[in-house]
Amino acid sequence: MPRLLRVLFGLQVLTAIGWQLRLHVGAGYSLLNFFSYFTNLSNLLAAAVLLAAASGAAFVGTAGFAALRCASAVNMALVGLVFGALLRNVDLGDLRPWVNATLHYLMPVVVVADWWLDPPAHRLRARQLLAALAFPALYLVYTLLRGSQVGWYPYPFLNPARAGGYAGVAAYAVGITVAFAFVGWALFALGNQRRATR
């Protein structure tokens, strides 16, 4: 993807999140809650990766950065898929429509397309795929532990009171974990295949 597009999309994400954060804090909502949404964290990582890639810095060509790009692509693909499958008809409260469109629709497509158009320069190994899946696993543990302490969950399918108890949460968690593993493997394999043929 051209550097200019990476910069523009990265800045659009930062603008969208900054705009929503201003509204969130202005309404008296918790700052920690805002940064406890997987969508926000994944989009911030995506913006950082896009802007870093556009910079052309030396580390952009390393295997470590390729693994980070893969992790970002996996996260953003799941942001789009989970939103479409589980949250599309949920009341989004104060979330502005253009922010929603940017974070849940546009950026998943952009980040996956960037991975397709500019495959990694280094062949990815299985351990790098596992590293890409570590963040969502840690996020799930954090969300359930914090939710049980403060009584707030960022998503209804992680809230035992709305998901049919912890058994319901476990079912959703297993389903989403399987989706992460499948999408992660698919993007991992795509990156290696595209690298070999470009």
pLDDT digits (tens, 9 = 90+) for 110-145: 999 999 999 888 788 888 888 888 899 999 999 999
Asked whether 17 and 40 are in contact (CB, 8 A), the reply is yes
Contacts of residue 78, Cβ cutoff 8 Å, sequence gap at least 6: 42, 136, 176, 179, 180, 183
Q: Which of 70, 62, 61 is nearest to 185 (CA)?
A: 70
Tokens read off for 6: 């990476």
Q: Which residues of 130-167 are buried (b: 16+ CB within 10 A; e: fewer)?
A: ebbbebbeebbeebbebbeeeeebbbebbbbeebeeee
Least confident of 109-113, 154-158, 176-180: 176-180
Which contiguous run of DSSP H or E holds residue 74? Answer: helix 63-82
* pLDDT score of 4: 96
pLDDT range class, residue 59, cuts 50, 70, 90? confident
Tokens read off for 11: 């800045």
**Triad 74, 79, 81: Cα angle to 5°:** 95
Phi, psi dihedrals of residue 138, rounded to the nearest 5°: -65, -35
Q: Which of 13, 7, 183 is nearest to 104 (CA)?
A: 13
pLDDT digits (tens, 9 = 90+) for 91-107: 888 899 999 999 999 99
- The Cα–Cα gap between 76 and 127 comes to 20
* pLDDT score of 93: 83
pLDDT range class, residue 176, cuts 50, 70, 90? very high
Tokens read off for 191: 């990156």
Q: At what angle do helices 107-117 and 38-55 cross, to 10 degrees?
A: 40
